[in-house]
Chain A
């Protein structure tokens, strides 16, 4: 999702993951349950192969992951598009909410209050 956006991939990924965890922690229980279902679906080997079309995540290439995201994003099934939308929302919020994301996009951060 953030391919091309991260200045220093490994350190930045840790920040992004932390941001996603914070974003999820702020959701009400019913929505957290939906997120848990989504991640469960993407984690469980059988459903992962069927709905995401990829092998174990740690061995998936960038190209495989991108093609999974693209399939969900453009799917005719609104359920898959909504899964993509949830991943997009959580990951973008998780990354772009933190200061490390800002230099690459030219955002100076909030002003100092005198």
Chain B
């Protein structure tokens, strides 16, 4: 039987409450209120609580733990993801995978942990005045979080899905590298995306949040932060709705949280939306703008051998060959990785219906799948999306895909097909409604050149949402300063991926951990 640290903590008397069970209105007083329990909120909670500060964490999703994680997509997507893992951009053109549970996206991510690339930091310094965002200045903070979360390059052999990427790239002389993962005693099962059933993944759920709760922090789950109440240039309180039993909408009871400082860490769609609902000062119209997604296109290959992409560490090999040395003012760069191949994820991503769809799904155990994550936000023709609000106050991201990004999508589909044929693929299917399986790279290139690059024809995903409350020294071009403090509201801090002025160019979790560790430590010292 695998020990469940959440069940044990609750038995020890943690102050963790499911707000949907509240039988009346409630109020909480603390030093720091943190909205969101993902990479940003979790990291901040541990550091602030360790400084003896009284912390209240507010999380919209449920508190779930290893005893609830049955490696089933049908349970995990509605329980642990925003909008049942089917969140879409306003024009429905991009599907966004984002967590919604205690631990946020770290509860369901695929564990890939990269430091912020040096080029990205240099760009921030040059274009956003973030002079202390250097490789050297951040190195100790990344090192600290790598140690905390046991981040290390994956030591087991890659599973055949990752090996396909490595083999094809090797044949073409394209360098690949091993992905660092935040796991300890990993069983190599392959189900990170539906909640780690063995607690090997060092997510916020099993590391920083238990540590904060052990130091007396309060956790409110199924509690949606509705709006900050301002008094002059300060937040005086936070209005929170206790959700109803479905966990999807506000119930009858309200919660008020009063604090000396407030941290917004709900992720790069929900944090800008919270500030928009609060009518936070936005004198230069920067709030919610420049939201980035690392738009992802996908290529599926049918291999002669068994791939079984559902088994084994989902991501262990990557290549930065198509972005690392490219200038930011040229065509968009992309990182190549592979995804886990599970039935719901694959069947919903596979174009077509009926017999053609069923025929490709029949190849399920032989599918080798590569994804290209495009590095958006570094070029004048890639300004990202805008977070707005629906009539009911919930967020909606408008992200028009520009011709600049579509050009990258076409190029990326070709790069992936080339690698897959080099790896020995019998067939390659670019994931696009107008594509059919092809048997050679020459045919693939011809096909891809002719594909109409339009939304809801090309299938586009995102698992990384960044920006919308960007950092910078000039308030005219940013929302917060480099230390996370809001430019106009002195006790409001943004500690999550929405702080990034561009995308990262790598899976963003470790960027959030490291940068938030520094900023939360500074805040703790001030308080």
A and B from one assembly? yes
Question: Which A residues contact B (CB, under 8 angstroms)?
Answer: 1-5, 19, 22-23, 25-31, 66, 69, 73-74, 78, 81-82, 84-86, 88-89, 92-93, 95-98, 101-102, 104-107, 110-111, 113
Q: Establish whether residues A107 and B77, one from each chain, have CB atoms under 8 Å apart when the complex forms.
A: no
Contact between B358 and A4, CB atoms less than 8 A apart: yes
Q: Is B311 interfacial (CB 8 A cutoff)? A: yes
List of A residues within 8 angstroms of B455 by Cβ: 78, 81
B354 touches A93 (CB 8 A): no
Give which listed residue, B248, B249, B364, contacts A105 with CB less than 8 A. Answer: B364
> Do the beta carbons of A113 and B354 come within 8 Å of each other?
no
Q: Which residues of A contact B70 (CB under 8 A)?
A: 110
**Chain A residues near B348 (CB-CB < 8 A):** 88-89, 92-93, 96
Asked if A96 meets B310 with Cβ closer than 8 Å, knowing A22-B78, A81-B457, A113-B197, the reply is no
Our pick among A89, A104, A113 for the contact of B2 (Cβ within 8 Å) is A113
Query: In this assembly, does B189 line the interface, its C-beta being within 8 Å of a C-beta of chain A?
Result: yes
Does B155 make an interface contact (CB < 8 A)? no
Q: In whole angstroms, how far apart are the Cα atoms of A78 and B457 in the complex? A: 9
**Cβ-defined contact, A97 with B84, below 8 A:** no
A105 touching B362, Cβ below 8 Å: yes
Q: Are A23 and B78 in contact (CB under 8 A)?
A: yes
Is residue B390 within 8 Å, beta carbon to beta carbon, of the partner chain? yes
Q: List A contacts of B364 (CB < 8 A).
A: 105-107
Q: B342-357 CB contact bits vs A (8 Å, 1 = yes)?
A: 1110111010111101
Q: Are A93 and B433 in contact (CB under 8 A)?
A: no
* Closest CB in chain A relative to B78 CB, distance in Å: 3
The answer to whether A28 and B394 have CB atoms under 8 Å apart is yes
A30 touches B394 (CB 8 A): yes
Inter-chain pairs besides A23-B84, A96-B344, A97-B344, 18 sampled, C-beta below 8 Å: A2-B358, A4-B357, A23-B86, A27-B248, A29-B392, A69-B354, A73-B352, A73-B433, A78-B93, A78-B454, A89-B86, A92-B357, A96-B346, A96-B361, A97-B343, A105-B365, A107-B365, A110-B70
Let me know if A110 and B92 touch, CB within 8 A. no
| Interface residue B132 (Cβ < 8 Å from any Cβ of A) | no
- Are A113 and B433 touching (Cβ within 8 A)? no
Q: Per-position contact with A for B84-103: 1 when CB-CB < 8 Å, else 0?
A: 10100001110100000000
Chain B residues closer than 8 Å to A107, beta-carbon distance: 310, 342-343, 364-365
Report if B498 contacts A (CB, 8 A): no
Which residues of chain B are near A111, meaning CB under 8 Å?
71, 189, 311
Is B433's CB under 8 angstroms from A74's CB? yes
Q: Chain B residues with Cβ under 8 A from A93's Cβ?
A: 73-74, 77, 84, 86, 344, 347-348
Given A27-B83, A92-B347, A82:B457 Cβ within 8 A: no
Quick check: A88 and B353 within 8 Å, CB to CB?
Answer: yes
Q: B interface, how many residues as a size bin?
A: 35 or more
Within 8 Å CB of B442, what residues of A? Answer: none
Q: Are A30 and B392 in contact (CB-based, < 8 A)?
A: yes
A96 contacts across to B, CB distance below 8 A? 343-344, 346-348, 361
Q: Is the CB of A110 within 8 A of B72?
A: yes
Q: Inside 8 A of B311's CB, which chain A residues have their CB?
A: 111
Contact of A4 with B354 in the complex, beta carbons under 8 Å: yes
Q: List A contacts of B457 (CB < 8 A).
A: 81
For residue B133, CB closer than 8 A to chain A, the reply is no
Question: How many Å lie between the Cα of A2 and that of B391 in the bound state?
Answer: 35
Known interface pairs A93-B347, A97-B344. Does A110 touch B198 (Cβ–Cβ under 8 Å)?
Answer: no
Which residues does chain A contribute within 8 Å of B198, judged by CB atoms?
113
Say whether B334 faces chain A, with CB atoms less than 8 Å apart.
no
- A81 near B72 with CB under 8 A, answer no
Chain A residues in 8 Å Cβ range of B358: 2-5, 104
- Across chains A and B, which 10 residue pairs bring their CB atoms closest together, nearest first? A26-B78, A97-B74, A110-B71, A81-B456, A82-B92, A4-B355, A96-B347, A105-B364, A4-B358, A26-B84
Of A3, A86, A95, the contact of B347 (CB 8 Å cutoff) = A95
* Cβ contact within 8 Å between A28 and B248: yes
Task: Give me 20 A-to-B residue pairs in the complex whose CB atoms sit less than 8 angstroms apart, sorted by A's number.
Answer: A1-B354, A2-B354, A23-B86, A25-B78, A25-B246, A26-B248, A29-B392, A31-B83, A66-B353, A73-B353, A74-B433, A78-B92, A82-B91, A82-B92, A84-B456, A93-B77, A106-B365, A107-B365, A110-B189, A111-B311
- Measured between alpha carbons, how far is A89 from B350 in the docked complex, in Å? 10
Q: Is the Cβ of A26 less than 8 Å from the Cβ of B355?
A: no
The closest CB in chain B to the CB of A33 belongs to B392
Bound-state CA distance A101–B346 (Å) is 13
Q: Is B318 an interface residue (CB 8 A)?
A: no
In the complex, residue of chain B having the shortest beta-carbon distance to the beta carbon of A24: B84
Q: Give Cα A74–Cα B452 distance, bound, in whole angstroms.
A: 11
| CB neighbours of B354 from chain A (8 A) | 1-5, 66, 69
> From residue B380, how far is it (CB to closest CB) to chain A in Å?
26
Residue of A nearest to B197 (CB): A113
Considering the complex, give the chain B residue whose CB is closest to the CB of A23.
Answer: B84
Q: Is the CB of B361 within 8 A of A105?
A: yes
- The answer for the CA separation of A110 and B355 in the assembled complex, in Å, is 26
CB distance from B16 to the nearest CB of A (A): 23
